[in-house]
Chain A
Amino acid sequence: MGGLMDFVIVVNIVMTMIVAQILLPQALACPNNFSLTATGRCRYQGPYPMATTPTQGAWRTLPYVKRLDEGLDPRAIALGHRLFSSRELSYERNLSCQDCHNPDHAFTDQNPQSIGGSGLALKRNSPSLYNMIFLQRFFWDGRAASPEEQLAGPLFSKDEMNMSPEKLWQRLLETPDLMAALKEVYPPTLHESSPESPQDWAVRGITDALVSYQATLLAFDSPYDRWALGDQKALTQDQFLGFNIFRSFVSRCAECHIPPLFTSGQLVVIGAPDHPKAGPDHGAGGAGGAGGGAAAGGTFKVPTLRNIALTAPYMHSGSFQTLGETLRFYNRGGGRALGTHMPKDLHWHIRPMTLSHRELQLLEIFLGSLTDRR
């Protein structure tokens, strides 16, 4: 068996080197966690495998994502990267995706609520984009079911990019190099029977390019990952003690923030306070939320904890300035500590944790081990 594995590994390494280094031109490079296929696409090849059966999908495996398995178009990724930082995508040329999803802060923006195109604060805290391609629902209230649907939100919102398909097409006409780049990756289809309007083509191409780029924003290179993949020394003593608190049922953190994504993606009520400036927020329980009338008030999607040390302030409203403050909120029992003001339909895992000061410190130290090497 051992000899066989050696043989397989050697063969695979040689094949990988031949394919990656010699046969294909350097221009078609793929980002980290992706490898170039024979057909020139970037296929997911990260450290955690995607699930092969519907019952897998936690602790050791990622949910299956078809587009990552089939591979992304490297040209679309490159174009999406360019679009991501381009203010041409906002009607007033005053906002890019990156303004709220800054790579330096794990694709968040350090504001309690993001600032819109008009300079006014929006409703909620900017969520990190890392590993978003593995999620089933998007926005804090889970109202979008696909990354494409999500993207239409800020792009067409009056308070954010303030675009429309017509304005987007107009912008392409005014920006020839962008038009040329888009045409190269997405050659317009000319079917007499069902012609795609130029506006629809522009939305489709820009959306696909941006989603392709965002699909490559993967975060699996933290000390925690090196530990989970077998390096017993990758976590410091305190980080490991903190992880043991994190996975304990005394804290119950890992019940909703399940590795390796560190989120279950569920819509839950924990009773985090709204921000005085942003006002009451019912989340998925509000109008247009994923739960419609069925979900409870103040219902929000469980966010990932990856790179959490870089993404202050915290919660849907950005009400907590530090991780310590956030952990103390949970330790007191979240919304359950509010007594008679306790929100309805709190998740049953939200109860006092009764952790000591030292244990909370260790928990915070562990959360620091979820920061990726960059």
Chain B
Amino acid sequence: MFKKLTCSMDLSVELSVGLSACLLYLSGDITPALAAVHKVSPQSKIQATIDAAQPGDTIEIEPGIYQESLYVDKPNITLRGIIRQGQWAQLDGGGLLNDGVIASGAGFTIENLKITNYKGNGVMTQGADRVTIRRLIVKDTGIYGIYPTLGHHVLVENNVVSGIADAGIYIGMCDSVDVTNNEVFENVAGIEIENSTKALVAHNSVYANTGGILVFALPGLPRKKTELVYLLKNQVYSNNHYNFGAPGSTVSSIPPGSGIIVLAADQVTITGNIIRDHATAGILLVDHPSMPGLTPDPEVDPSPDRVRIDANIIESKISLGPVEYGIWFHYIGRTLMAGNVADGALELLLPKTFDIYTSGTGQEHCLDHVDSYRIKGPSPFAPCGKEQDLKALPTTMLDPPDSKQPGVNLADLDPAPHAAPLAPAIGEATYNAVCSGCHALNFQRIGPPLTEIATKYLNNPQGIVQFAQHPQKVRRDFPEMPPQTYLGETKLLATAEYILKLAKPAAQTN
């Protein structure tokens, strides 16, 4: 039925209902039952197949070289390379094309491809939710290798990314992100989490970049903070590459030899990592004025707060050799040439070798065994106390049950005491992942608005839980809600409480 309802209607016909159906289409909330698999061989164009595909379809790409930029602007499309006898499907921009892949449709999956020689990005998603990017070999694709931006529920796993002039894997203004099991090397920045919330960066191998893992809250962007970031069990080593970032770019001011940099981000957990052989510092904790080239933004808190550093192995270089000094002179020269060096940032330009470097740090940080490390700058750390149970955090993503993303189970994210930092977010995450498909705060989507629900169940979250477990048809003009029992009582209650918190103020003023 849905395929009949294409969105090519004339907008001057004021059928608001039809339009909202189109938006459901674009957000990927409606998927046709029958999905097709299309095959592409090097004699034809992948883009032509994408254009002909229906939402939900899979495009399988035969081994060979494809000189194309791909654009995916419909939901639930999968691009899958076929690997046969060691031969891969390869997107090659020949150093001439701007972008490898840009996707704006929700539920986008890309896997098993080599992507190389582009000027802009390897893979970029813009405003797309439920994105999976995995098993790609991305090399020399310009500014970013893998760049999901403005999306919810993003999975980046098992990729190999190298030779990128900015960040190999760049998570920009996203929520609920997992970056796991990637190999990231010889980029200016390895993995960068920027103005994003709820991000897990785990089991990655990050080496030979200028800076390994960056957790940044940057100025001048519409999203104003980075928080709840978990760097767990990564191998971060020898990130001493000379800085080849474009003059003026943020990463051009990263001092070579930086393992992990936390800039103005809050609630960052750095646990169980191996961080070795860095010429500047294993971990840098800095605020905006300490980084050269950052513009002021009154709406961004410039200091990092509540950073937890424990159970890591940190070992930095003891002294610098001629190669490192050469890399330093190059860095200092180009940073000064680029201008915009605030007074507070001058110190970062000097060569140094420490385990932990702090400058302009915020508050409430903790560090295990303060005495074990060579720390430069103020030491704002309290002891960390009890070790965290890392098993409690396999993912930061919560998925609707029909999602295509594998390896993510709603039951995995249990708000048990050891996962305390995430517990308050569970209600919100579940609402965003599951409920918001049919409910909106103030208007009727498929089900009634939250304000109506909050009026009916004022101070009675348990009532919402019971209804969600055993829904009944209440009103003739609404479809009956499917039962949400699979979420479990705890998650349902957290969600009900979140819904009431979100909608109660609005409900009371109505």
Contact = CB atoms under 8 A, between A and B. Distances in A.
Nearest to B176: A55
A336 interface: yes
Contacts of A344: 339-340
Contact of A55 (B2, B7, B11, B175): B175
Nearest to A350: B248
Interface in A339-374: 342, 344-348, 350-351, 354, 373
A205 B12 CA distance: 33
Contact of B25 (A225, A230, A342): A230
Contact of A4 (B6, B9, B479): B479
Contacts, number: 184
B19 A35 contact: no
Interface string B50-92: 0100000000000000000101010000000000000000000
A264 B221 contact: yes
B51 A49 contact: no
A5 B21 contact: yes
Nearest to A12: B17
Interface stretch (B344-352, B404-412, B436-444, B454-462): B436-444
Interface stretch (B117-125, B230-238, B324-332, B390-398): B117-125
A351 B248 contact: yes
Contact of B249 (A55, A294, A351): A351
Given A13-B15, A53-B432, A294-B296, A248 B440 contact: no
28 contacts: A5-B5, A6-B1, A12-B17, A15-B477, A32-B14, A45-B16, A50-B442, A52-B436, A53-B428, A53-B432, A53-B436, A59-B150, A228-B26, A229-B22, A230-B26, A247-B102, A250-B98, A250-B120, A266-B222, A268-B220, A295-B296, A333-B248, A345-B340, A346-B248, A346-B295, A348-B218, A348-B249, A351-B246
A249 B247 contact: no
Contacts of B223: 55
B11 A258 contact: no
Contacts of B35: none
B120 A345 contact: no
A9 B21 contact: yes
A274 interface: no
B150 to A, nearest CB: 5
B222 A264 contact: yes
Nearest to A344: B340
A120 interface: no
A2 B4 CA distance: 10
A267 B442 CA distance: 30
A45 B71 CA distance: 29
A254 interface: yes
Interface residues of B, number: 79
A348 B293 contact: yes
A252 B400 CA distance: 32
Interface in A288-331: 291-292, 294-296
Contacts of A347: 220, 295
B21 A348 contact: no
B148 interface: no
B23 A16 contact: no
Given A52-B436, A249-B124, A230 B246 contact: no
A345 B292 CA distance: 10
Contact of B8 (A4, A232, A269, A292): A232
Interface string B92-113: 0000001100101000000000
Given A5-B2, A248-B98, A35 B23 contact: no
B403 to A, nearest CB: 16
A247 B220 contact: no
Nearest to A35: B16
Given A5-B2, A225-B11, A244-B71, 7 more contacts: A52-B441, A53-B428, A229-B19, A249-B120, A259-B127, A336-B247, A342-B339
Q: Which 6 A-B pairs have the closest CB atoms?
A: A230-B7, A59-B127, A2-B1, A231-B8, A345-B295, A250-B120
